[in-house]
Amino acid sequence: MKQNLLDCTIEELEALLNESGVEKFRAKQIFQWVNKGIASVDEMTNISKLLRQLLDERFHTGILHILRKLESKKDETKKYLFRLHDNNVVESVLMKYTYGYSACISSQVGCRMGCRFCASTGIGFARNLTCGEMLGQLITIQKDAGIRISNIVIMGIGEPLDNYDNVVRFLRLVNHKGGLNIGYRHITLSTCGLVPRILDLAKENIPITLSISLHAPNDELRNKLMPVNLKYSIDKLIEACKIYTEETGRRITFEYALIKGLNDSKENAHELAFLIKGMLSHVNLIPVNEVEGTEFEKTSKERTGIFKDILEKNGIEVTLRRELGSDINAACGQLRRGLVKE
């Protein structure tokens, strides 16, 4: 199978070219071409035909095949189902905001975490994505939609910190000035709470936004929703988050999906406020995605408002996530889930 050019750094390309007696400066040209979204190496017009032939024998450009695309009639959200070069499939979502376009991308083919409310649970884990396959999602979306993505959320299929090395490599490549050049502060990484990797990430000197999928204010409730909590309890997770904020100076986002009758009581709101009070953080309240095969329902708007008010009265910064792509099942995992059933 051919290698993905998007997996390569400029330095790695220089080393490969040096082996063939090719000038080092060509590496930067190749890197820039593949980040523009070319479909084949023949499109590299400032590179000799001989070098293009050499590249074509060993590499592909990393552009992904769009298996399905859904477009929302409500808010211009686009959802993509991509086929990878080994016929596995992943999903990405393009969202339009006042500040520009944001893309939510996948980091794995499937997920091992088993969160009960997630559309990726129960349809199997195949493998990690390479950094080039993560870049390929962004580049393919930009080319298809004719837009420039300014913000990235690694919150699609998979647990990013379970694919740590490839995700860190992706972050450095997507930030490269010769590539997509997306600023770290415009990137959010979402994790269910792999404590050792949160501590590792704090030392990487990559000033992204860390988002914690919390969804419960106590161990008893979180154990039922998220198996990861059986290994890394809430106390361990919050301690790691405090270390992360101290070492990076970056605010953490706590994601909290409100589930009717389960984690949306006034008592739950007070527990959550007590848990994170004084931390450099804010809470993002999310109406839970209603996924076929799960019993979870969205909390009412009235109950959501009460929950939000309690947090704010306790000095917690809160946002209520705007629902985008609700008419196309924009929660990552639902298209892949449907395809597996088919």
Tens digit of each residue's pLDDT (9 = 90 or more) over 234-247: 999 999 999 999 99
List, for residues 205-216, the tens digit of each pLDDT value. Answer: 999 999 999 999
Indicate whether 322 pLDDT > 80.
no
Q: What is the mean predicted confidence (pLDDT) over 254-278?
A: 97
With bands split at pLDDT 50, 70 and 90, how would you rate the model's confidence at 149? Answer: very high
**Strand order, beta sheet including 100-105:** 65-71, 78-83, 89-97, 100-105, 149-154, 187-191, 209-213, 252-258, 281-287, 318-320
CA atoms within 13 A on the CB side of 336: 31
Query: Tokens in use for 232?
Result: 């890394």
Region of 333 (left: φ > 0; alpha: ψ -120 to 50; beta: rest) is left
In whole numbers, what is the pLDDT of the chain averaged over residues? Answer: 93
**Which amino acid is located at 139 in the chain?**
I
Judging by beta carbons within 10 Å of its beta carbon (0-12, 13-18, 19+), is residue 165 exposed, middle or buried?
exposed
Q: What pLDDT does 239 receive?
A: 98
Exposed e or buried b per residue across 69-84, where buried means at least 16 C-beta atoms within 10 angstroms of its C-beta: bbebeebebbbbbbeb
Query: Tokens in use for 249?
Result: 């100076």
SS3 label, residue 128: strand
Q: Tokens 């361990």 appear where?
A: 236
Quote the CA–CA distance of 107 and 110 in Å, as a whole number.
9
Percent of the chain residues past pLDDT 90, beyond the cut: 86
With bands split at pLDDT 50, 70 and 90, how would you rate the model's confidence at 291? Answer: low
List, for residues 6-64, the tens digit of each pLDDT value. Answer: 999 999 999 999 998 999 999 999 999 999 999 999 999 999 999 999 999 999 999 99
Q: What pLDDT does 76 receive?
A: 87
Indicate whether 326 pLDDT > 80.
no
Indicate whether 294 pLDDT > 70.
no
Q: What pLDDT does 80 receive?
A: 97
Q: What pLDDT does 131 receive?
A: 98
Number of Cβ atoms within 10 Å of the Cβ of 302: 8
Quote the CA–CA distance of 113 and 115 in Å, as a whole number.
6
List, in order, residues 6 or more apart from 13 with CB less than 8 Å away. Answer: 5, 26, 27, 30, 31
Judging by beta carbons within 10 Å of its beta carbon (0-12, 13-18, 19+), is residue 5 exposed, middle or buried?
buried
Q: What pLDDT does 335 receive?
A: 57
Query: Tokens in use for 118?
Result: 């997630």
Q: Rg of the Cα trace of the chain? A: 21
Instruction: Report the catalytic residues.
Output: 91, 332
**Which amino acid is located at 32 in the chain?**
Q
Q: What is the mean predicted confidence (pLDDT) over 86-107?
A: 96
Q: What is the mean predicted confidence (pLDDT) over 63-89?
A: 95
Indicate whether 274 pLDDT > 70.
yes
Outline where the chain has alpha helix (H). Answer: 10-19, 25-36, 49-58, 131-145, 164-174, 195-202, 219-225, 234-248, 266-276, 301-313, 334-341
Q: What is the mean predicted confidence (pLDDT) over 166-195?
A: 98
Q: What pLDDT does 34 receive?
A: 97
Percent of the chain residues past pLDDT 70, beyond the cut: 92
DSSP states along 33-66: HHHHT-SSGGG-TTS-HHHHHHHHHHEE--PPEE
With bands split at pLDDT 50, 70 and 90, how would you rate the model's confidence at 292? Answer: low
Q: What pLDDT does 247 receive?
A: 97
